[in-house]
Structure 1
């Protein structure tokens, strides 16, 4: 159950913002102490929200993925034809990654956390699962979830590959088209 107490929500937002700011400047300086110092919150407050630094990283990056997935789900018509809408939402998400390149590069790179990758993978799967429910209602829940996980894995894999260089090798717009066209071609070839 989510805690909606305004003080709790404010503290959590401060912790997320501090993480992003510190990690954007220099991910090597990221620590619970640095986050607490940045926010003016004590360690007890940090640990009321998160068990470890990895949990904060996964929460902060997952929260933004959730917003994008919710937008994608809201535009889904079940026809598979909302390419322009999906493209705009996905491009905005990839621009967020570009703007926070050092953060995502660190979090999803070799020194990052599997927890963050797992959280993003599960969040990325929600949109395709919802779309598949509408596109192919005859699919079992298990098959739908496997297909959504496959699509989410492709998105995450493309992002990890994109983040493997010091600077983006292509724009968010180009990567969006490549990913969505690949998914679209995959869907067209699938016998439902």
Structure 2
């Protein structure tokens, strides 16, 4: 996250094409994802692929992390710092979880036992950023270290619940039900954490 982002338009276009091709292919069958398949789909050569990503795991973490970042930005835009924007937070979380549900095989594979540790860590980090944002607003007197610790704890629970949800061949509950359960538990815990 702290690395300097290349903003050259050609670089950005190539990166976006690689992400889009990954998501298309992953939706079709995540087990067949290879650098060759991504390059064939995009028309981008392998050398260019490797200028962007050292490994396929890096592309997976980047693409899925970017989707989580988009959800975080939406959520941060609605945050009032009161912790009371539960309906808005639920709606944004549901949109994100519906994306996960629509790409069930991909997320189940990427976050499962044979998946990518980089992806797991990327999503954990993104979740912690969102929680830390709210914690800063709820209690500005908390130290950076305390916010980071509490955010890591809470985001681990959120991601753990999602991984549990993904542990079956198909969803056992809807995205709406999962969002409501996670946010209800998080809301109760957040108020205890801040208090």
- TM bin (shorter chain): over 0.9
- Which whole-Å CA distance do the structure 2 matches of 1:79 and 1:28 have between them? 43
The structural deviation recorded for 1:19 is 1.0
**Counterpart of 1:190 in 2: which secondary structure?**
helix
State the distance in 1 between where 2:25 and 2:193 align. Answer: 44
Does residue 109 of structure 2 align to residue 106 of structure 1? yes
After TM superposition, list the pairs within 5 Å mapping 1:167-178 onto structure 2.
167-178=170-181
* Structure 1: 5+ residue stretches without partners: none
CA distance in 2, matches of 1:174, 1:120: 21
In 2, Cα distance between the equivalents of 1:188 and 1:161? 24
Q: SS state of the match for residue 139, structure 1?
A: coil
Do 2:139 and 2:194's aligned partners in 1 also have CA atoms closer than 8 Å?
A: no
TM-score normalised to the size of structure 2? Answer: 0.95
Indicate the residue corresponding to 2:81 in structure 1: 78
Question: Partner of 2:157 in structure 1?
Answer: 154
Q: Please, which runs of 5 or more residues in structure 2 have no aligned partner?
A: none
Matched residues in 1 for 2:17 and 2:117: separation? 24
Query: Deviation per CA, 1:120-152, whole angstroms, max 9, x where unpaired?
Result: 000011111011001011111111111111111
Correspondence 1:34 to 2:37:
yes
State the superposition RMSD in angstroms. 1.0
How far does residue 191 in structure 1 lie from its aligned partner after superposition?
Answer: 5.5
Query: Does the alignment pair 1:54 with 2:57?
Result: yes
2:7 pairs with 1:4? yes
| C-alpha contact (below 8 Å) 2:72/2:126 kept by paired residues | yes
1:68 to 54, 68, 71: 71
* TM-score (normalised: structure 1): 0.97
**1:41-85 CA distance string (max 9 Å, x none):** 100110110011000000000000001111111111110000011
CA distance in 2, matches of 1:38, 1:169: 33
